[in-house]
Amino acid sequence: MTLLEFENLRVSLGDRPILRNVTLSVAAGEAVGLVGESGSGKSMTVRSVVRLLPEGAAVTGAVRFEGADIASLGAAGLRRMRSRDVAMVFQDPRAVVNPVRTVGDFLTEVLRDQGVNRADALRKAAGSLSEVGVDDASRRLAQRPYELSGGLLQRVVIAAALLTEPKLILADEPTTALDVTTQEEVVAILDEQRRRRSVALMFITHDLELAAAVCDRIAVMYAGEIVEILPADRLHTEARHPYTRALLGSRPGTVPPGQRLRTVPGVPQSALTAPPGCVFADRCPHAEDRCRDTRPAFRGSAACHLLEEVR
Ligand SMILES: Nc1ncnc2c1ncn2[C@@H]1O[C@H](COP(=O)(O)OP(=O)(O)OP(=O)(O)O)[C@@H](O)[C@H]1O
Ligand SMILES: [Mg+2]
Specify the residue with its C-alpha closest to ligand 1, atom 24: 38
Comparing CA positions, the residue from 68, 73, 41, 78 lying closest to residue 57 is 41
From the CA of 52, which ligand is nearest?
1
Q: 286, 242 in Cβ contact below 8 A?
A: yes
Atom index in ligand 1 nearest the CA of residue 36 equals 21
Helix/strand/coil (H, E, C) string of 81-123? HHHHHEEEECCCHHHCCCCCCCHHHHHHHHHHHCCCCHHHHHH
- Cα-based distances in Å from 283 to 34, 38, 141, 243, 280: 21, 16, 51, 9, 6
Ligand 1 in reach of 13 Cβ (< 6 A):
yes
- pLDDT at position 226: 98
Comparing CA positions, the residue from 248, 178, 259 lying closest to residue 207 is 248
- pLDDT at position 293: 95
From the CA of 206, which ligand is nearest?
1
Ligand 1 in reach of 42 Cβ (< 6 A):
yes
pLDDT, tens digit (0-9, with 9 covering 90-100), for 126-156: 999 999 999 999 999 999 999 999 999 999 9
- pLDDT at position 255: 53
Reported as a pLDDT band with limits 50, 70 and 90, residue 311 is low
- pLDDT at position 253: 58
CA separation for the pair 80, 114 (Å, rounded): 10
pLDDT, tens digit (0-9, with 9 covering 90-100), for 81-130: 988 899 999 999 999 899 999 999 999 998 898 899 999 999 999 999 99
In this prediction, residues 10-22 reach a mean pLDDT of 96
- pLDDT at position 206: 86
- CATH code, 2-100+144-303: 3.40.50.300
CA separation for the pair 104, 275 (Å, rounded): 50
pLDDT, tens digit (0-9, with 9 covering 90-100), for 209-232: 999 999 999 999 999 999 999 999
pLDDT, tens digit (0-9, with 9 covering 90-100), for 43-83: 999 999 999 999 999 999 999 999 999 999 988 999 889 88
In this prediction, residues 174-200 reach a mean pLDDT of 91
- pLDDT at position 260: 56
More confident residue, 14 or 263: 14
- pLDDT at position 251: 65
Q: Is it the case that residue 177 has pLDDT exceeding 70?
A: yes
The sign of the dihedral angle between the CA atoms of 263, 265, 271, 277 is: negative
Atom index in ligand 1 nearest the CA of residue 54 equals 1
**Hey, which of 12, 34, 42, 204 would you mutate to test ligand 1's pocket, going by the most ligand atoms within 8 Å of its Cβ?**
42
Specify the residue with its C-alpha closest to ligand 1, atom 14: 41
- pLDDT at position 254: 55
**Residue 280 dihedral angles phi and psi, to the nearest 5°:** -95, 0
pLDDT above 70 as % of the chain? 96
- pLDDT at position 252: 61
- Tell me how crowded residue 259 is: count the other CB atoms within 10 A of its CB: 7
- pLDDT at position 256: 59
Q: Is it the case that residue 258 has pLDDT exceeding 60?
A: no
CA separation for the pair 2, 22 (Å, rounded): 16
